[in-house]
Amino acid sequence: MRTDIAEPVRLKDYRVPDYLIDKVDLDVKLHPSATRVLARLTIRPNPQGRSDAALILDGDGLSLKKIALDGQLLDLQKPEAWKGFVTPDQFTLHAPPRYPFVLEIETEIDATANTRLMGLYRSGSVYCTQCEAEGFRRITYFLDRPDVLSIYTVRLEAELSEAPLLLSNGNRITGGPIEGTPRHFAVWHDPYPKPSYLFALVGGDLGSIFDEFTTRSGRKVALGIHVEHGKETAAAYAMDALKRAMAWDENIYGREYDLDVFNIVAVSDFNMGAMENKGLNIFNDKYVLASPATATDMDYANIEAVIAHEYFHNWTGNRITCRDWFQLCLKEGLTVFRDHAFSADMRSAPVRRIADVRTLRAQQFTEDAGPLAHNVRPDTYYEINNFYTATIYEKGAEIIRMLKVLIGDDAFRKGMDLYFDRCDGTAATIEDFIACFAETSKRDLTEFSRWYHQSGTPLVEAAGRYDEAAKTFTLDFTQSCKPTPGQDQKEPFVIPVALGLVIPGQGDIALRTDGHDGASAAEIARGVIELSAARRRIAFRDVPSRPVPSLLRGFSAPVRLTYPASETDLITLISHDSDGFNRWQAAQTYATRLLLRSVDRIRAGDPPHADKDFSGALAVVLEESTDPAFNAQVMTLPSEADIAREIGEDVDPDAINLARDALREAIGQDLKDLLRAAYDRLADTGPYSPDAAAAGRRALRNAALDLFAAGDRIEGARIAMRQLETAATMTDAIAALAVLAHIPGDARETALDAFYHAHEGEPLVIDKWFALQASIAEAGTLDRVKNLMKHKAFSFSNPNRMRALVGCFATLNQTQFNAGDGSGYDFIANIVLELDAKNPQVAARLLSAFKSWRSLEANRRILAERALRRVAGAASLSPDVKDIAERSLA
Ligand code: PHE
Ligand code: ZN
């Protein structure tokens, strides 16, 4: 176990490694509690490094058996004889040879006892590894940093009955039984130099499906997906998604796969979503396994996205990796950007955009508004595990999206080509990346790059003035950004604002400006105005009547934008905007306004605010038949967390919950007949398909049911019960159960029991059952969650179970996590402390549920702070939890 880190790692302290490791030969003999790893490292001094430097290899809790330098055993009892020292966490050689030398290190690992799920561990009976970010040092001593690239050859050996399948990175060279023993072996060789975080091995008894993909230059790639026996058919969709992703990367970016095999292994114990190890992706099985009876449409979409994400890393992450962990967004932001574009191409683009922006706002905006705000490219960190955040991933992707909007598709694609060309085989930086686009666009991107160095969500305030006589419309923009930890003053951001002017009843008009106060020809041609200073004014001419501006179309920048639109203006946009995203946004803005008004009224002791016009606008959308998936998004109100974020300070989660329920009830009553008719009209006919069109109809039908039941609980529960009993898909079953779960009474308990018994053998379905119960906004939920933790299907050590039950309680259940008596905070604090001893990474992530504590009303703030202080002050905390606790309190 590493001891607490007192000093942060700083970007400005980056130095090239003093030694390089060209070759890594691993010989791994798998055994449940005593796996032997013999690492043969070919090391040489780095000509660019310091010539007098000691060789310092990282370790983390290693048990060293022996070590030899150029064939000479080092006497571990007499370190002075070889001038160095060794601890479980470090190996130091003060005066290593100045020529290439070989270090042989033998370690022993108890994979079964590894509860952190970092390094070599077991998921059920399967041996697997997770090395990003710093897990390789739990396998052997190494220069465990992403800028040390080596060629790996791995020999694996295991009992044939225990692990008939032996996989590692690259191509399989040879293998077979070991005569006269019950064991067998396999040798894998990866010809591409890679950092240690991309190393992986798997040994186990798994069921496999195989397929093949021929790249456009004719390379035949054998594809394999390996899952728990009996689940093979549930991997078919993942295989299909993989082949589509491979074709997409060839078509869109000209990137081909570069090995003869590509393997994916699904395991049920995994800290994150999945991992892009070269040629051997390892997945949380939640992102591989899907059948109509167990997976929702959302699960299918997530599988498609995560499969593509990990595959795309082969170029953006593996062929070009990161120089250091400060550059994490170089691979993550870019790869999320690529998987978003892929999903948009596979499905409805506006619907994907809406879903992506919902996630961005829910996770990243919230992070950026609280004590855990950090740069997309941080300049210090205490614990890198804590930087796999929405800011690095989602905001990192938004920056690239903006770049593309600003320089145009052509210069963007050329910039990507240049990046692949120039940086292939290297460990690169954000500066290397941006330089490629500065070159192809001939633009100075220095100011744009502030997005990487300044945290916080900019606020853009827009105002418009129509001059009837002159037929001009003038827009005034101002931008600002609140201070974030360590950053009191912000320089202006470069913000692309895609816009249009909508004339009621007529639609978009052509944009024209005059020289004075005008936009450049390029801006007009693209319909994108660039804000790069604190203020900007733009006047449009030839505007026949007062327009409604449609601003930030497609969510062209990750900012908060306000414009004093009237409610009539919003209705114009909801029904007539040519930009799908902004039609949805106008409905969200309208709903948010109603909700904020209601929250104020509820806190003043008045009844919530109601509004028939909003219901009327939704009615129009409900009746349109063009894109049900889109309509479903419009029918879904902002979440409680969205409303809390809008309010920003002195937040009362109970008032928000009441206001939101009241609005849903009012809409449900106003649109009773229409909702019911939509529900009947959209019933699934014909065979099941997971495609976007069928999923869209299910989404709209279930959104209609949800609102209908909010207006009429008795009839709603009756319909939901019938839907639950007859559902052909998990999408419909879970939607019905969700309706029932939020209506107190015996019917709910009966339905929950029945659901459990119907799906008992499917842990991923039981996770949905846990998550649903954890999110019930009622006072009894904490007790329910505590009881469920004693349920035989719950497991304290399985991250998916933990996230489903405890994680959902902390992040989705705003009223109960933030219960006025502090019981939710105490509960989560206790779990974090208990879990920290087992799995610090998952514990730290759970603790970040407190990230908005400062915006709460005073009483809750005091209670949340008390719980956080209790965690921060506990003895023997992991660096992971300590870091989150301390930054949350700073
Ligand atoms: N690199 C993985 C991804 O985004 C995420 C991950 C990080 C997985 C750390 C495990 C550990 O694709
Ligand atoms: Zn990734």
**Which of 134, 157, 304, 310 is labelled catalytic?**
310
Question: In this structure, what DSSP letter does residue 77 have?
Answer: T
Is the CB of residue 272 below 6 angstroms from any atom belonging to ligand 1? yes
User: Which atom, in ligand 1's list, is nearest to the CA of 118?
Assistant: 11
CA of 352 to the centre of ligand 1 (A): 22
Percent of the chain with pLDDT over 70: 99
Query: What does DSSP say about strands 427-428 and 321-322: parallel, antiparallel, or unpaired?
Result: parallel
762 is catalytic: no
CA of 134 to the centre of ligand 1 (A): 11
- Per-residue pLDDT at 646: 97
Is the CB of residue 388 below 6 angstroms from any atom belonging to ligand 1? yes
Percent of the chain with pLDDT over 90: 97
Q: Amino acid letter at 531?
A: L
- Per-residue pLDDT at 634: 98
pTM (predicted TM-score): 0.98
Model confidence at 1, pLDDT cuts 50, 70, 90, reads very low
Largest CA distance in the chain: 97
CA of 273 to the centre of ligand 1 (A): 7
Residue with tokens 């299910």: 698
Task: Give the H/E segment covering residue 66.
Answer: strand 64-69
Is the CB of residue 308 below 6 angstroms from any atom belonging to ligand 1? no
Euclidean distance between CA atoms 319 and 315, whole angstroms: 5
pLDDT tens digits for 276-327?
A: 999 999 999 999 999 999 999 999 999 999 999 999 999 999 999 999 999 9
- Closest ligand to C-alpha of residue 841 is 1
Model confidence at 6, pLDDT cuts 50, 70, 90, reads low
Q: Among 95-99, 256-260, 622-626, 709-713, whose mean pLDDT is lowest? A: 622-626
Cβ(262)–Cβ(249) under 8 Å? no
CA of 271 to the centre of ligand 1 (A): 9
647, pLDDT greater than 90: yes
Is the CB of residue 274 below 6 angstroms from any atom belonging to ligand 1? yes
Nearest CA to ligand 1 atom 12: 275
Residue with tokens 């992971």: 880
514, pLDDT greater than 60: yes
Model confidence at 52, pLDDT cuts 50, 70, 90, reads very high
Query: What does DSSP say about strands 560-562 and 459-467: parallel, antiparallel, or unpaired?
Result: parallel
pLDDT tens digits for 763-775?
A: 999 999 999 999 9
778, pLDDT greater than 80: yes
pLDDT tens digits for 120-166?
A: 999 999 999 999 999 999 999 999 999 999 999 999 999 999 999 99
Is the CB of residue 310 below 6 angstroms from any atom belonging to ligand 1? yes
Is the CB of residue 339 below 6 angstroms from any atom belonging to ligand 1? no
Among 388, 389, 800, 841, name the best residue to mutate to test ligand 1's pocket (greatest count of ligand atoms within 8 A of Cβ): 388
Query: What does DSSP say about strands 321-322 and 165-168: parallel, antiparallel, or unpaired?
Result: unpaired
Euclidean distance between CA atoms 636 and 646, whole angstroms: 17
Among 128, 197, 276, 392, name the best residue to mutate to test ligand 1's pocket (greatest count of ligand atoms within 8 A of Cβ): 276
Model confidence at 685, pLDDT cuts 50, 70, 90, reads confident
- Among residues 497, 498, 493, 499, the alpha carbon closest in space to that of 480 is found at 493
Cβ(237)–Cβ(290) under 8 Å? yes
744, pLDDT greater than 70: yes
Sign of CA dihedral 11, 93, 191, 202: negative
Euclidean distance between CA atoms 734 and 755, whole angstroms: 9
**Other CB atoms within 10 A of residue 117 CB:** 24
- Closest ligand to C-alpha of residue 842 is 1
pLDDT tens digits for 794-841?
A: 999 999 999 999 999 999 999 999 999 999 999 999 999 999 999 999
Q: Which two tokens stand for residue 309?
A: 């994400």
- Per-residue pLDDT at 610: 80
Euclidean distance between CA atoms 122 and 33, whole angstroms: 10
Is the CB of residue 130 below 6 angstroms from any atom belonging to ligand 1? yes
First-to-last CA distance in the chain?
26
Task: Give the H/E segment covering residue 400.
Answer: helix 396-423
Is the CB of residue 132 below 6 angstroms from any atom belonging to ligand 1? yes
Distances 373 to 228, 272, 275, 456, 867 between C-alpha atoms, Å = 39, 21, 25, 7, 20
Is the CB of residue 849 below 6 angstroms from any atom belonging to ligand 1? no
pLDDT tens digits for 200-248?
A: 999 999 999 999 999 999 999 999 999 999 999 999 999 999 999 999 9
User: Which atom, in ligand 1's list, is nearest to the CA of 317?
Assistant: 1
- Dihedral pair phi/psi, residue 827, rounded to 5°: -60, -50
439, pLDDT greater than 80: yes
- Among residues 660, 705, 715, the alpha carbon closest in space to that of 683 is found at 705
CA of 316 to the centre of ligand 1 (A): 13
CA of 506 to the centre of ligand 1 (A): 48
Q: Which residues of 41-68 are buried (b: 16+ CB within 10 A; e: fewer)?
A: bbbebbeeeeeebebbbbbbbbebeebe
Euclidean distance between CA atoms 600 and 656, whole angstroms: 9
Euclidean distance between CA atoms 660 and 637, whole angstroms: 8
Q: Which two tokens stand for residue 639?
A: 């979440």
**Other CB atoms within 10 A of residue 739 CB:** 25
CA of 355 to the centre of ligand 2 (A): 18
Is the CB of residue 282 below 6 angstroms from any atom belonging to ligand 1? no
- Per-residue pLDDT at 609: 87
Euclidean distance between CA atoms 410 and 831, whole angstroms: 51
Cβ(107)–Cβ(64) under 8 Å? yes
Nearest CA to ligand 1 atom 2: 275
CA of 57 to the centre of ligand 2 (A): 26
- Among residues 616, 484, 479, the alpha carbon closest in space to that of 552 is found at 479
Among 138, 144, 275, name the best residue to mutate to test ligand 1's pocket (greatest count of ligand atoms within 8 A of Cβ): 275
What is the rounded average pLDDT for all residues in the chain?
Answer: 97
Residues in the chain: 890
